[in-house]
Structure 1
Amino acid sequence: MATEHDSVELVGDELVGNVARAALFAALMGASAYVSFPNPLSPIPVTMQVLVVFLAGIFLGPVWGGASMVLYLVAGSLGAPVFAGGSAGFGALVGPTGGYLLAYPVAAVVTGAVVHNGVTLGDYRVSTVRLVGAMVAGTAVIYALGTIGFALVQGIGLGAAFWVASAAFIPAEAFKIAAAVGIVRSDAIAAN
């Protein structure tokens, strides 16, 4: 006896794929927090997290890149040890590095929006100038919110906070931008 079954798609394949990629980048973000180096010019360590922020915006676009960073922040604030040095909890979001953490979703959105020319996911294989410009814009967001957060928590002026919380990281950010360009270009070559 043959029976006929109708299938119902509850969640589309595209949504499932986007959520999975966002979760993957959130996990990569958490892992990158463990790669940290002391910065002799700042009490804040250098991590590889900003590189992941760039890549999330570039590869996932502004919407899903930002969503991946929000997922990362939710996991960390709920106790997953995914913040710099394995720290966790809501206190990290209001501590000296809280401004950076809160800037990550915004920076991923900005980076992705510049690369993809809006909120719709497009081709990330853009000119190097546009790619670098997108990451510089994302870095500016991170530096602005990171500096403000650091100044508020430490009780110092914005000028003093800028030197410790932003300017001290410029060489590291230049390296991360170069690394991201290399990753994107190598992926573009592999895709062709």
Structure 2
Amino acid sequence: MTATTVSLRRPGVLADRVPGSIVRDAILIAAGAGFTGLAAQVSIHTPLSPVPFTLQTLAVLVTGAALGTVRGAAAMLLYLVAGAAGVPWYAGHTHGLGGPTFGYIVAFVLAAALVGELARRGNDRRALSTVGLMAAGNALIYLIGTVWLALSLGLGAEKAIAAGVTPFLLTDGLKIAIAAGMLPLAWRWTGTGQSRH
């Protein structure tokens, strides 16, 4: 089996286009966590939900897709652990463990891994498949975040969905559309976004 055969089976992710190995990975993981912390500061609280509107989910899912399964999950785990330890980079410069919105942060780790794996299989090369992988990541964030929200606030399923999912559907749809344009374009710029057949 040649390297060409392997590369056709495993398309890889955008981060694989960056030369290097361990040092590269450490820098990309730290950058992914920092990008998410920066995106979290675009934060709007409304009466619709105790969960603020942020750009975090876009950062999480794009980071997962760009870095891949392991590096994407590691970046979000770094984001979670550093924020829990006191780095004020959660939404609104907050930090710490627990609270009704902490489930979304926990979900970021798994969502980045899921999106990273789908991207590793080449699903971030075209707009339509990028929509699918981003929607899958968002659904996982909604699931874990909303269950945590319900348990934290003692909400039933209907109220938890009304507070933790419904207000965000439109804005998350816009984020998905942005990613569906960004990721395939990034592959075209690298000259490797062609068909994965």
TM above 0.5, yes or no, is: yes
Query: Which position in structure 2 is the counterpart of 1:58?
Result: 65
Q: Can you give the 5+ residue segments of structure 2 that lack an aligned partner in the other structure? A: 1-19, 192-197
1:108 maps onto 2:112 in alignment: yes
Amino acid at match of 2:157: L
**TM-score normalised per structure 2:** 0.82
Distance 1:146 1:39 in 2: 17
Tell me if the contact between 1:32 and 1:52 (Cα under 8 Å) persists in the aligned partners.
yes
Unaligned runs of 5+ in 1: 1-12, 118-122
Q: Equivalences for 1:88-167 in 2 at 5 Å? A: 88-90=95-97, 94-117=98-121, 125-167=124-166
C-alpha distance 19-39 of structure 1, shift in aligned 2 (>3 A): same
Q: Secondary structure at the match of 1:38?
A: strand
CA contact (8 A) 2:128 2:180 kept: no
- Between structure 1 and structure 2, the one with the greater Rg is 1
Tell me if structure 2 keeps the 8 A contact 1:114–1:130: no
Paired position in structure 1 for 2:78: 71
Paired with 2:32 and 2:110, the residues of 1 have a C-alpha distance of 15
SS at match of 1:81: coil
Q: Equivalent pairs: percent with the same residue?
A: 37
Cα deviation, residue 86, structure 1: 0.3
Distance 1:28 1:127 in 2: 24
Residue 87 of structure 1, aligned match among 82, 94, 98 = 94
Q: What residue number does 2:33 align with?
A: 26
Amino acid at match of 1:184: L
Mean Cα deviation higher: 27-36 or 38-47: 38-47
How far residue 15 of structure 1 moved from its aligned partner, in angstroms, is: 1.4
Q: Size of the alignment, in residue pairs?
A: 172
Q: For residues 191 and 126 of structure 1, what CA distance do their matches in structure 2 show?
A: 11
Distance 1:174 1:15, change over 3 A: same
Question: Which digits, 9 at most, give the CA deviation of each residue in 1:110-158, with x for residues without a partner?
Answer: 11112222xxxxx565222221111111011100011101101111112
Runs (4+) off by over 6 Å: none
TM-score by length of 1: 0.84
Q: How many angstroms apart in 1 are the aligned matches of 2:123 and 2:165?
A: 27
Q: Once superposed, what is the RMSD of the aligned Cα atoms?
A: 1.4
